[in-house]
Structure 1
Amino acid sequence: MKNKMTKKCFTTVAMLALTFLVLISCKKNSGGGNGGQEIYLSCKINGTLHEFNYHVNANDKPATDTVHFVVIGGWEKSDMVTGFGIDMQIDKGAKEATYASNSVAGLLLSGKYYIQQMKDGKIVGTTIFNGGDVDGSNFTMTITSLTQWGVKGTFSGKLRLLTGDEYLTVTDGKFSAPYN
């Protein structure tokens, strides 16, 4: 009798743990846990649409009312080989507005498209195109919503290969990213 109760108790605890894990894993990039908000990051690179909708998120939720950092990122596929990221740091605090790289003092803004080179399942290098903080490049981001949930907006720019003179044009960028 005691053995049956122990087995039943163990089964119940295991099922509760499994249910908990499923609920946690569904939190991001699905209908659950996102406050009804869509989650996405996409743009056209040299005219071709790229969707970076895997693991899309923004920085940690700000600890104060003034938001000094806005960081958004996502991967094109679940293999995490190609991705896009946006980094902004602003002394005066971010607002719902348009920001252009190098446009005002106290603003650092860049967009990055990166491609990891893999060999035998390991990263052996990364090709990075950067816009906003590399000579000959530029980057613009418009924040359309900055809430307790996260950040939404649009972006565009001219990205330059960090190790050469190759350029990419980014247009029609848009994002909706929850805080971590």
Structure 2
Amino acid sequence: MQKINFKPIVVVLISLVLLVNCSKNDNETQLVDAHLEMKMNGELKKFNNSLSAQTAYENDKIVTLIVAGLKDPNPGETDSFDIHIVDIDNGITTRTFLNPVNNNLNYDLYSNYFNNLTNKYFSSSYNDPQEFKVIITGLANNCVKGTFSGKIRKDNNQEVIIITEGSFIAPIEN
């Protein structure tokens, strides 16, 4: 009788499980490839340190989502980037959040960037009208996944940063 070696099969199965990212259908998902990155005026920027997402619930639905990360590991000495979405009426789900929405917003969406080296603060809320878009593509109990793009502006200034190719996969910490 020939002996079956199950080790290669187990290794393949474990590898497949580890390749799973956030999925809107999973309540608990293995989180891999956590990141928060984008191009700012064409230059790739990564904010993968201290990366996390925070949520707030009301009536069993997520009404606030904040995704934030740092460029370097030292919080007081590095650049930071964050995205905020608040939707009390419909809750945060896998869908597109866009500003402006026919000038009749039923949710808040904004993004912030702090450049520690130059001590400059940029926000999408300084644009009039705001031009920022976030697409939540996966949402589970333990992680959120999405893409984003738009413009952020320095306060009382014409200095604008154009964000393209933004993406995130972040662990949710409650």
Give the alignment's TM-score, normalised by structure 2.
Answer: 0.73
RMSD, aligned α-carbons = 2.1
Which residue does 1:121 correspond to in 2?
A: none
Partner residue in 1 for 2:68 = 73
Shift of 1:84: 0.7
Aligned to 1:134: 127
Q: CA deviation at 1:62?
A: 4.1
Is residue 2:97 matched to residue 1:99? yes
Letter matched to residue 169 of structure 1: I
Relative to the length of structure 1, the TM-score reads 0.70
User: What 5-or-longer segments of structure 2 have no aligned partner?
Assistant: 1-28
Q: Residues 100 and 130 of structure 2 are in contact (CA less than 8 Å); yes or no, is this contact kept in structure 1?
A: no
Distance in 2, Cα, partners of 1:114 & 1:66: 30
Unaligned runs of 5+ in 1: 1-33, 118-124
Larger Rg: 1
User: Deviations along 1:79-126, whole A, 9 cap, x unmatched?
Assistant: 232011000101211111111123143211011111235xxxxxxx94
* Residue equivalent to 1:155: 148
Show the counterpart of 2:13. Answer: none
Q: Is the 8 A contact 2:99 2:130 kept in 1?
A: no
Between the aligned residues of both structures, percent identity stands at 26
Aligned with residue 51 of structure 2, among 40, 50, 56: 56
Please say if 1:44 is aligned against 2:42: no
For the residue of structure 2 that corresponds to 1:163, the secondary structure is coil
Q: Secondary structure at the match of 1:67?
A: strand
**Which residue does the alignment assign to 1:11?**
none
| Superposed displacement of residue 64, structure 1 | 5.2
2:26 maps to what in 1?
A: none
Larger relative contact order (Cα-Cα within 8 Å, sequence gap ≥ 6): 2
How far does the alpha carbon of each residue in 1:14-34 deviate from its partner, in whole angstroms, 9 at most, with x for none? xxxxxxxxxxxxxxxxxxxx8
SS of 2:128 mapped into structure 1: coil
- Describe the shift of the 1:138–1:132 C-alpha distance in structure 2 as closer, same or farther (beyond 3 A): farther
Corresponding residue of 1:168: 161
8 Å CA contact 2:55, 2:62 repeated in 1: no
Contact 2:100–2:129, Cα closer than 8 Å, also in 1: no
| CA pair 137-167 structure 1, distance change in 2 beyond 3 A | farther
- Tell whether the 8 Å contact from 2:126 to 2:155 is kept in structure 1 after alignment: no
Paired residue type of 1:97:
R
* Residue 84 (structure 2) aligned to one of 74, 83, 87: 87
Distance change >3 Å, CA 90–CA 133, structure 1 → 2: farther
> How far off is 1:133 after superposition?
5.3
